[in-house]
Structure 1
Amino acid sequence: MKRILLLSVVLLASCGSQTEAVTPPATEALAADRFLTELRADYPVTLSPIAEGVWVHTTHYTLPGQAPIPVNGLVVIDGEAVTLIDAAWGELATLSLIDAVREETGLPVTRLVVTHHHADRTQGVDAAEREGLEVFTHPDTPTLAARAGWPVPNTSVAALDAPQSRTRVGKIELAFPGHGHAPDNLIAYLPDSNILYAGCAVRGAESRTLGNTLDADLPLWRESLLWTKATYPNTQTVVPGHGKGANLSLIDATVALIDAELGQAN
């Protein structure tokens, strides 16, 4: 809204008379700086370093009547640019995230991995694409996002179509373990630092429930997690989509929650 108001003022200044007013470049830069300052204040970003050139980014989203929900992702320096693994929940929050990452790293943010089609992963896609980021996601994610009414990523990765498939995006290995928390949930592994970004395929260390299971297939989710643990046995750090990270114990804990839920269903 602040950006819209700012643009409205500029348009009024340029269209209000026969002699068009031209905003001096210094004034434009000042307005842009003010916008970003207010944006960062309204949508704060936490960047927590966990390895050389790798941070966990955390933002928050508030649903009516609920406490703010922490939303995690990764920031990965890859050469002379930065890849985001998941953006923030919302367009303005994503713009704030991109600005914070540019300031922290001094590098351009050029890629975004979207790990599945749910709102907490796709609602920043349009803002990211407007900023010029190249998007990587599961081939089914655009269709699933469109059906759900969420923003639709413009591109996907055909090589990740089949369960247990893997491919590389720069220094990051992307994998599709199979149906889990969602039918299209991807994970990302950083072999240089043995970091596994499992996203919403695992629950945070403090979680005692499976959370949203509307799109989950519990038996397949369990199978996907066991494949993930067997495929990346050298993992030292596991980052969940929400909440606190740990090590491979997060996979074990999530499997235990699935087993408990399946036991109750039987």
Structure 2
Amino acid sequence: MTRLIGVLTVKHLLILTSALLIACNNDAAEPVQKSADPAPVADTFLAQVQADYPVTLSPVAEGVWVHTTNYRLPGQSPIPVNGMVVVDGEDVILLDGAWGELATVSLLEKIRAETGKPVTKMIVTHHHADRTAGVDAAEREGIEVFTHPTTPMLAARAGWPAPNTSVAALEAPQARILVGRVEVAYPGHGHASDNLIAYLPAEKILYAGCAVRGAGSETLGNVEDADLPKWRDSLLWTKATYPETQTVVPGHGKGANLSLIDATIALIDDATTNAD
């Protein structure tokens, strides 16, 4: 089954899953009543996926959106998860997917409906599940994936979906490359050892992902893979490298300006002091 799913497109997977669900739910003793104009199975199932995993696309510039979905844990409030969508000519670049495979399917369809184009490139900013959990859905659609070179190994080791590709040129701290009109940088170890950031020079928008905390955050969140002193240095480099930034988009919560970097550094300093 794993090999079969590996070669299926999302559309094929939706058709197969829907057919199985319909077969299981029909009573074999009663004939199936055919509607006069039945909806295609894949379209019906996809509509249900989009209803179950709603996506918000918030425009922040011409051809640029912040995408937000919610991940739900039992007994906890929904966790908002941000990423970005950038139209670059005939390409559509996705900065991180949603937290979950079906949620990412819903996201990809939402983007297609909004832009009139499919996503062609995807940048995965680090190996945690909130960034990699939808990568299989993206790769089945033929989307080209870009990551730090250690991200696939770290994701696989942690038990999360592992991207099939990575970018060797991003290995060294402070390395930068261009993916279309998006500048992707590896500031160094921070929230995770492999966390990337992305910058849109024309719009002066920095997608910092989980390297910064959302506006009003009072904690650093998950620091299991963080290196606090290096994280601080990485943020100082980021601020010095992109001083013209007007909008900073975090991986969770509300965005703001470069004050998010200052606020995150203050949280790191507090955590370091309390640890001493």
SS at structure 2 position matched to 1:55: strand
| Count of residue correspondences | 252
Amino acid at match of 1:52: E
After TM superposition, list the pairs within 5 Å mapping 1:167-186 onto structure 2: 167-186=177-196
State the alpha-carbon separation in 2 of the partners of residues 5 and 171 from structure 1.
37
1:198 is the counterpart of 2:208: yes
Number of the residue aligned with 2:261: 251
What residue is the counterpart of 2:40 in the other structure?
Answer: 30
The residue type paired with residue 18 of structure 2 is: L
1:17 is aligned to: none
RMSD: 1.7
Question: Deviation of residue 132 (structure 1)?
Answer: 1.2
Aligned with 1:96 (options 88, 98, 106): 106
Determine if the alignment matches structure 1 residue 128 to structure 2 residue 138.
Answer: yes
Residue in 2 that maps onto 1:60: 70
> Contact (CA 8 Å) 2:14, 2:42: kept in 1 or not?
no
Q: Which residue of 2 aligns with 1:69?
A: 79
2-structure distance, mates of 1:4, 1:223: 49
Partner of 1:40: 50
Instruction: Give the TM-score normalised by the residue count of structure 1.
Output: 0.91
What is aligned with 2:274? Answer: 264
**Alignment counterpart, residue 111 of structure 1, candidates 111, 121, 132:** 121
Distance 2:201 2:40 in 1: 42
- Mapped pair 1:80 → 2:90: yes
- 1:100-156 CA deviation, whole Å, 9 max, x = no partner? 000000012111100000000000000110111110000000000011000000000
Counterpart in the other structure of 2:3: none
- CA distance in 1 between partners of 2:127 and 2:118 (Å): 25
1:208 maps to 218
Name the stretch that deviates more: 237-246 or 125-134.
Answer: 125-134
C-alpha offsets along residues 19-54 of structure 1, whole Å, 9 cap, x if unaligned? xxxxxxx96x72222122111100000000000100
CA distance in 2 between counterparts of 1:9 and 1:262 reads 52
Q: Using the alignment, how far apart are the partners of 1:193 and 1:9 within structure 2?
A: 45
Instruction: Tell whether the 8 Å contact from 2:19 to 2:41 is kept in structure 1 after alignment.
Output: no
Deviations 1:229-258 (A, max 9, x none): 000000000000000000000000000000
Percent same amino acid among aligned pairs? 71
Match of 1:8 among 20, 27, 32: 20
* 4+ residue segments displaced more than 2 Å: 1-5, 7-12
Amino acid across the alignment from 2:19: L
Match of 2:197 in 1: 187
For 2:61 and 2:236, the matched residues in 1 are separated by 25
Between the aligned partners of 1:225 and 1:3, the Cα distance in structure 2 is 45
Hey, what's the Cα distance between the residues in 2 that align with 1:2 and 1:64? 26
Rounded to whole Å, the distance in 2 between the matches of 1:2 and 1:169 is 30
